[in-house]
Each structure stands twice: as structure tokens, then as C-alpha cells.
Amino acid sequence: MLREGMESLGNRSVTVHPRYFERLLLLTSQKACAEYFLGDNPPKGSYCNGTWDNIYCWPPTPAGYDIYMPCPEHLFFDGTKVLAYRVCNDRGEWELKNWTNYTACINYPIPPDVPLLFAVRDIYFVGSSISLVLLAATFFIFCYFRRLQCDRIKIHKHLVLSLILRFIVLIVLLQPYLGINGYDNSYLNSPFICRSMLVLSQYFSMTNVFWMLIEGLFLYMRCVVAVFHYISSLKVFYIIGWVVPVCFVVAWTVVMALYDKHQCWLDYSDLPYAWIVSGPIVLALLVNLYVLLHILAVLVTKLNADQRVPNYSEHLKALKALFVLLPLLGLTNVLFFVNPKDGGIGDHIFQVFNAVIQSSQGIFVSLIYCFTNAEVQAVIRDKLAVIKMKQSVYNNGGATTKKNDYTVTSQGGTRV
């Protein structure tokens, strides 16, 4: 009778059941492997003992059977069943001095995009980490200085907060230093946690774009129609930025739960249900594109009306100013929105470009809205000047106090 957790392949061969195999993946040392099978003592000679080969923990195997497990390189990249195996002879001993046959794994061609996937992952991780640090500093500055409290800065704060939350989720999901197999010793083994993190990622991706849409609408109202003063509060923008994405993400989550049984929904981008989230994002980006082009047309019209002779240098300045707005309004995402999926250079450019652009959005937002903004720089300079003045007064006051500690008596003596 075969051991629990194994399935017969016929011809005196067995393979490990997928659920049992997931447990074995968590055993990543010789000690852990030995302890796992410590209380399991089959009759000597009837089974080969459980053993660790520096890659897998192989379970006790019936004498005279071969045992198969999936190759580690291809465990999470495709569905091809490429197997490694060990041979347990009739005496209950592993053949060839405990050797595991990984020949099929080595001979099987590794998908050409695996190194690219690791490179894209690292780009996302590094860019997201830098963005997160700069965004945290930006959010602190916007909250700390009272002189910066206005409707425009309030909108900036919500955009920055949505980006911070998104990059935190991205960093948690990426975890680039877990090893070649990615999931060993990871709490993301839990389908509930893994799916929840993916749902949060989708939600914060939508909030990012929707707050960029609000930035565009605010700019449009200020530069073109000038009706913002009719809005008594920012509640409408708060609903658009935080509540509306909830409706789309909840609908997407329900559909995925019903129709996609994958453990972590890793194939979500290839399914038509992705448009439940992607559709509103595309619409928001198109609205921002219209806003940018309309503002450009209005600026050029005003410049031509104010000047008898066209001043092309002024036109160039206006064009540069609007070009800076591209990443702030999320319009860089439009450049490569559709993945060619040709498996060639086009696919590689798409993945690398998107990794760079999306992971660096926080850097652009922090630099343009905060660190290179003249108003913010003035507030910080004034604060530093006040701190410097207080320090100077404290030092001078300390010196004066020290001198006043000594007084001269009428007899000409000195007392402390």
C-alpha cells in the first residue's frame, strides 16, 4: 500500500500529491526534513528513508519504487510537467548514493523571459522603495506646514497617500529575496492572503489614477472654466478618489472569486474580467489627456492674443510646463498601455518601460509637487531660518546669563 500523500503512476512509480508537495516545499533544510518524518518509522527495508538533497525534502518511498516531483525551475512559470526523480531499490535504499536525477530539469529549456521577469521585479522593487521614501517625506511636509494648507495641497496629499499605500502593497507582493522558487517560507502561500494583497493592489492602482484624474480636473477648472469656487467642499473629490474605485474593485473581486480558481489569480491580466478595473482606468487617462490638450490649446490662444508677434520662446515654455504634467496626470501609462505579447523585443520593451514608469511615479510626484516647488522651498527656508534664529538667541542668551551670574559688591569684592 502506497504511503499517504503519494499517487501511483503505474510500473512501480509514484508521484507526490500537489497538496503534500506544497508542505514539503516548506522544509528547506536537512534538520527540518528529518524532524518532519521523525515520528514516522516504516519497517526497515520496506521504505527508503525521507531525505534532504539540498533542493527538496523527499518523503519515505516504498522499496522498489521510483518517486517523482516537479522540477523547481518550472514550478511557478508554466504548467509543463517536467519531473525530477529518485530511485528506491528493493532493499529500501536510495540508488546511486542518495542521488536525485534532475537531468530532465536541466535539459528542459528555461523560458527566455525568466531573467527578464527577475529584472522587471527588481526594477519595481528598487523604484518603489525610492518612491516610498520620497513620498513619505512629501506627505510629512504637506501635513506639517500650516502655510501649505489649501485645496490644491489637500488634493496633492491624497494623491501622495494613495501612492504610498500602493507602493507598500507592491513591495510586500514582490519580496525579491525569497529565493529562486519565490514562495518558500512565505505567508503568501495562503490563497486568502495572496488574493487579498492582489485586491489591495488593484484598488490602490485605481485610486492613484482617479486622484490623478482629480488633479487634472482641478487644473482644468483653474485654467479653463474657473468654476471651482462654486464647490463648497472637497467631498465630491474624496468620493471620486476613494469610494468610486471600491465599487469597481468589489465587482472585479466577486467575478474572480466565482470564475477563477487559481490559487493567487496570477492570470488575472489575461482574463476579460480585467476590464472591470482597466476600463475605468483607461477612461480616466483619456479624460486627463483631453484636459492636457485643451489647456495647451487655451494657453497658445492666449499667448497669440496677448502678443502681436508670436513669441515662440513663450510657447516653448508653456509646452515644457505641460510636458512636466504627463507623469503627474498618469499619461505616461497611455504610451504603452497595450502589451504586444509577441515574446520578442516589443514585449521586453513594454515590460521594462512600464516597470520604470510605474515604479518612478512617486519620484516624479515628490520632486515636482514638493521638492522643486517654489512655495514649498520658501516655507522650508523660513522654517530653517526660524530654527537658526532661535539657536542664535539661545546661544547669545546663554552667554549673557553666564556673565550676569557674577556681580560686583560695594566693597569691590566679587561674589557668585
**Same structural domain, 322 and 181:** yes
> Has residue 410 been placed in a domain?
no
Give the count of domains, the chain: 2
98 & 134 share domain: no
Report long-range pairs for 261-266 (Cβ below 8 Å, ≥24 apart).
Answer: 263/191, 263/194, 264/188, 264/191, 264/194, 264/195, 264/198, 265/194, 265/195, 265/198
Domain boundary among 74, 107, 140: 107
Residues 137, 233, single domain; the answer is yes
pLDDT by residue for the chain (416 residues), tens only, comes to 345 567 666 667 787 777 677 777 767 677 778 777 776 666 666 888 888 887 788 888 888 888 888 876 544 344 456 788 888 888 888 887 667 887 777 655 545 455 677 788 889 999 999 999 999 999 999 999 988 988 889 999 999 999 999 999 998 887 654 433 334 434 555 778 888 989 999 999 999 999 999 988 888 887 776 555 545 468 889 999 999 999 999 999 999 999 887 767 877 887 889 999 999 999 999 998 888 888 878 777 776 776 655 566 665 666 666 777 777 787 777 666 666 666 667 777 888 888 898 899 999 999 989 999 999 999 999 999 998 898 888 877 654 444 444 444 434 443 33
Tell me whether residue 139 is in a domain. Answer: yes
46 and 97, same domain (yes or no): yes
Q: Which residues, at least 6 apart from 346, have a Cβ–Cβ distance to it below 8 Å?
A: 340
Residue 191 lies in a domain: yes
Compute the C-alpha angle 312/315/318, nearest 5°.
Answer: 155
Domain membership flag for residue 386: no
> In the structure grid, which three cell numbers stand for residue 257, read together?
472569486
Same domain for 341 and 242: yes
In a domain, 323, yes or no: yes
**One domain for residues 95 and 129:** no
Instruction: Show which of 86, 107, 128 is a domain's final residue.
Output: 107
State the CATH number of the domain containing residue 18: 4.10.1240.10
Angle at 117 between CA 334 and CA 19, to 5 degrees: 120
- Looking at the structure, do residues 17 and 118 belong to the same domain, yes or no? no
Q: Are residues 318 and 212 in the same domain?
A: yes
Q: In sequence order, what DSSP letters do the residues of 95-159 get, joined into one string?
A: HHHH--B-HHHHHSPPPTTHHHHHHHHHHHHHHHHHHHHHHHHHHHHHHH-GGG-SHHHHHHHHH
Q: Please give the model's pTM, rounded to 2 decimal places.
A: 0.67
Evaluate whether 39 touches 50 at the Cβ level (below 8 Å).
no
Residues 241, 335: one domain? yes
Domain of residue 365, CATH code? 1.20.1070.10
DSSP 2-41: PPTTEEE-SSSEEEE-HHHHHHHHT--SHHHHHHHTTT--
Place of cell 495641497: 153
In a domain, 361, yes or no: yes
Note whether residue 407 is domain-resident. Answer: no
The three-class DSSP label of residue 410 is coil
Q: Does residue 4 lie within any of the structural domains?
A: no
Examine the domain organization and report whether 96 and 154 are in the same domain. no
Tell me the residue range of the domain where 301 lies. Answer: 112-377
pLDDT at 64: 85
Q: Which of 47, 82, 107 is the last residue of a domain?
A: 107
Question: What are 231's strand-pairing partners?
Answer: none
One domain, residues 125 and 57 = no
> What is the pLDDT at residue 246?
97
* 50 and 198 together in one domain: no
